[in-house]
Structure 1
């Protein structure tokens, strides 16, 4: 059992729950990071800490959660859950303070009732059609176990330190909303981000897994990694991270560690 690393130079809060995952395999990513102590907190408790006071002991926030949706709703699942004004105010204050954030994989779907959250992460994944930035957008697409090549888009960026220019991945990909006008590209996937290669998230909610019949979605961005400034906070989003195949990928582990170290650095905050 991992010990509590009180003396680690970097203390990180990792928010989880809302989407199934292998907790032990995911936690192993952080146990290998020299000088970084990760405290994993489940939603909805994690939301209570996402404010300047709650995050005061931590140098960075890692999001691997998917809050704000009730998948057990009797109809039209997932029902959308409002985070409440206290969370909204606390999260905005955290961004104003400049706390670094690393968001991973399905966290892009979090808090659909809170548009500022999507803006902070640089995009959003939609389980059902919703208005995004003033326009009605279709539900997003997903595809599991895609074998693709990832290409570094910003080789000089600190998050890309030690990362090969191109590397193989096998992971879930999204056809989702990416705010390309607000983000700086870090990684691209060599894959066709078109409707025919993805499945409808709404169809999955209605019991039709791996289906896109009757679903329409225009081509999307090939970005699978980016950074942006949200308020005063440096934010990195990395789209990979579906399962143990990715958790155990040494390049992915390096990416996550680089992202944490960078968002927690004075240079990133400046």
Structure 2
């Protein structure tokens, strides 16, 4: 089909509802979609699976093993890292969605590409020490468009409601902020990720996390390409939301600019 582009979708490492997510992927127009799931995805990309992709949709959270109340981590293979760097170096684009901001805790360059990092344990991000990050499920909030003229936000209302998970996590290097959330990103509105891993879900006892930005979408250059990060996209409510679908379709078209928005 004229105008078709190759979209590589990566998932795995974090639970999600497969059938509704497949429905979201099936809604894309103008794309030929290839979906890879970790751990096999890491090997496939290292062997060249991303070479023909105009864009990659990262919906993965690889590099973790959760057991005994702790998060064990590992870095990606050198060949995987090189393949992702090569994708951006040749002008390929990417959208990193929701929990992808937590992926590859032992690959600092990934956090630099995304422009932020969700931490499951206290650690370093952007050269500074941080507590473990915060999460809050099923938050009802308004997404507020910051630049209605930007291709990623084109056709969206100036503000629209979502019900989704939000993160309290460090963000830096967002070259172009796109959306913010009408929600206070402060300790009292979130729960500790480290405590959740330890078996204490929905707890922030003794967790004195500092306030963080309310940005939930931004774009930035990576190599010769572009990356858009979208914090929305936790589950079926977001997958089916027409404004979220428009946002995601716009973002994919933007990072592969020779593909017109459907």
Is 1:38 the counterpart of 2:30? The answer is no
The answer as to whether partners of 1:123 and 1:178 remain within 8 angstroms in 2 is yes
Q: Post-superposition, which runs of at least 4 consecutive aligned residues in structure 1 deviate over 6 A?
A: none
Report the CA distance shift for 1:267/1:32 in structure 2 as closer, same or farther (over 3 A).
Answer: closer
Match of 2:90 among 67, 73, 97: 97
- Does 2:217 correspond to 1:225? yes
Q: Distance in 1 between matches of 2:85 and 2:242?
A: 34
Equivalent-residue separation in structure 2 for 1:32 and 1:82 (angstroms): 33
Moved more, 129-138 or 47-56: 47-56
Q: CA RMSD in A?
A: 1.9
Residue 118 of structure 1 corresponds to 111
- What's the CA shift for 1:216? 1.2
What is the Cα deviation at residue 34 of structure 1?
2.2
Match of 2:78 among 82, 85, 89: 85
Indicate yes or no: 2:115 matched with 1:151: no
1:262 equivalent in structure 2: 254
- Give the number of aligned pairs: 260
SS of equivalent to 2:155: coil
- Per the alignment, in what secondary structure is the counterpart of residue 159 of structure 1? coil
In structure 2, C-alpha distance between the alignment counterparts of 1:175 and 1:197, rounded to whole Å: 9
Instruction: State the match for 2:198 in structure 1.
Output: 206
Question: Quick one: which of 178, 185, 196 aligns to 2:188?
Answer: 196
Residue 46 of structure 1, CA deviation = 1.8
Contact preservation (8 Å) 1:52, 1:97:
no
2:70 aligned counterpart, secondary structure:
coil
1:3 is matched with which residue?
none
130-139 or 106-115, larger mean C-alpha shift = 130-139
* Aligned equivalents of 1:132, 1:35: Cα separation in 2: 37
Shift of 1:8: 6.7
Structure 1 spans left out of the alignment, 5+ residues? 1-5
